[in-house]
Amino acid sequence: MDDIDIANELAATFNDAALKTALTKGAARPSTGICRACRQPIEPERLRIAPGTQLCHDCAEDAEAEEMRARKTGIAR
């Protein structure tokens, strides 16, 4: 087995794992309707669109901004 075969095998393994993860996320359990960050009710429209959401709109925006800051600074949270 040469380097290209090994790389192809690793890529196929990675793709299989990524696909399984994506399919599992799509079948997430429904939300409790309570934001896990602030403990306030999640907006009904948000739950209708994304039944598995765990954060209200404001907390989701805060989490996304924090993730963006972490990516830009290279600091993992």
pLDDT at 26: 56
Q: How confident is the model at residue 36 (pLDDT cuts 50, 70, 90)?
A: very high
> What is the number of alpha carbons within 13 Å of residue 70 lying toward its C-beta?
9
pLDDT at 53: 92
More confident residue, 74 or 21: 74
Placement of tokens 């009710």 in the chain: 41
Residue 77 has pLDDT above 60, yes or no: no
Which domain does 52 fall in, by range? 3-73
Question: How many domains is the chain partitioned into structurally?
Answer: 1
Residue 27 and residue 52 in contact, taking contact as beta carbons nearer than 8 Å: no
The sign of the torsion formed by the CA atoms of 18, 21, 51, 69 equals negative
Helix (H, G, I), strand (E, B) or coil at 41: strand
Measured between alpha carbons, how far is 29 from 54 in angstroms, rounded to an integer? 10
Question: Across the strands, what pairs with 45?
Answer: none
Judge whether residue 27 has pLDDT over 60: no
